[in-house]
Structure 1
Amino acid sequence: MGSTPDEVGVAYKYFNEVGDFMKKLIAIDLDGTTLNQDSVITEKTAKTLHRAIEDGHSVVIATGRPYRMSKNFYQELQLTTPMINFNGALVHLPEQKWAGEQEISFNRSIVFDLLAEKKNLKLDFIAAENRETFFIDDLNFFDQHFFASDFATNDNLLTVNTLQTNPTSVLLRSQPENVGSVSEELKQQFGHEVEVNTWGGPKPILEVVAKGIQKAHGLKRVLESVHHKQEDIIAFGDEHNDVEMLKFAGWGVAMANGTDQLKSVANDITEMPNSEDGMADYLTKYLDL
């Protein structure tokens, strides 16, 4: 599918020698891509991304996760670029005021409809959230790591009375064998108002965001504030929610562990999966690090 990473790397080295106009914006998904099977950034991946930044490239996280569940990775990589959360519904410069910031929500009535149909949809829990807060309909499913919070109280219980504002995102968990059918059912019922995406990684999570919101939407917002063009983007992903991002990028790369759908739209595929630092290996060759 086009040039091989080695061929591209050789050409890229040449262009870097004659100017900075070939510097890349590296858009990275987290789960199933940057993170390994234990949901951590390995030393090799961290070093590779740091080397890319030292060479003048930009690294932007584009994830379905909320900020509170991903800021540790942003900090670990010592990034200073804008960040894309909720699959593009939130674009912001963490812990700073930024004129380009954008957070897009959808009508909370959909959350109430989901609560009413929870049993029929075979959902374990429903969680509505925005950048800093979350509500979950069953506190028995609260997990400190998953929600990046030390505890949850009745104030975090999702009800018609507690959810007073429109959410940026809704997370739904079902059993792995049900995720596909639940996703299709949601698209049939609410597809005219929202997007339904699947998280990468080991957890069977569906995420609901406003209609038209994709990671590509977030990248467009980021491009308005950085010195890069669309063709400068190299994007990495593994799941259905990365399709639009890879198609939007100048060079879209699917992980070896990625879905067949994503691989079908990618310019290239990593040789190794996320469990073997596939993204780091690819970047090292592609950028001649």
Structure 2
Amino acid sequence: MTTTAKIVDFMGLRKIAAICSLVVLIVSVGSLAFNSLQFGLDFTGGALVEVEYSQAQPLNEIRATLDKAGYEDVVVQTFGSPTSILVRLAQDHTSTLGDEVLGALREGADQPVELRRSEFVGAQVGDELREQGGLGMLLALGIVMLYVAFRFQIKFSVGAVVALAHDVLIVLGIFSLLKLDFDLTVLAAVLAVIGYSLNDTIVVCDRIRENFRKVRKGSSEEIINLSLTQTLGRTLVTSLTTLLVLLALFFFGGELIHGFATALMIGVLVGTYSSIYVASNVLLMMNVTREDLMPPVKEEVEVEGEERP
């Protein structure tokens, strides 16, 4: 294989990458098995307290006051106006909870605070919906596998699905390991990670197929290295611009979107890695060859008694 551009030997590190991925996956699955996920109020339900300040109060100061009072897993947000504050707590609602929260807020505030309401909040995601969501995700992976197999080849579909499962398990494992809250916004981020990773993998697979058909000399490893080198610039630019947006959301988007930005940042980094080392590594393990990707030759059938043009 001859080319004037310098080709990065990505696949030269494929065994090290495979070992690293395997170790991280084992840790992630182990954490999910023993620690599970720290489900937020969307999954578990809890209590909601609404208070009214006479003047706007910084949310971080309210949150710090409640943390100091011993309330854990608290979500603080404005409701309609800067002076109306909603406090969501991951604990059972009691008849005295509103007064207790109000007392803690009054101690940490230099202005009047009034209690508007205190009530129980049910889980937005029940056990049945959770099971249906899991089945839906498995169905989606199956459809992705069929699509990639139809567009490329069955070996590419296996590589794409392995890369997607790799990314999702690592994102969930990190949330489990660090005991970060898993709510509906994080679930939405996990689904977005699947879309991002699949798009990146499809671009790489498309270039690999193109080079297998175009480049006449070179081993499978060399052709994959060439394809990854050619798509590296696009992959890095896409990842970096996406990360810049996510960093802005992480630091300035507020508490409600914090988990979403965190999950997507992890997913973008892992997805970029998997499109280079996981999907391509699986292709080499399955011994992909030029013959697998060559278009089928149409056989001409000569009908007896007819003259060929």
With the length of structure 1 as denominator, give the TM-score of the two structures: 0.24
* Larger strand proportion of the pair: 1
With the length of structure 2 as denominator, give the TM-score of the two structures: 0.23
Select the structure of larger CA radius of gyration: 2
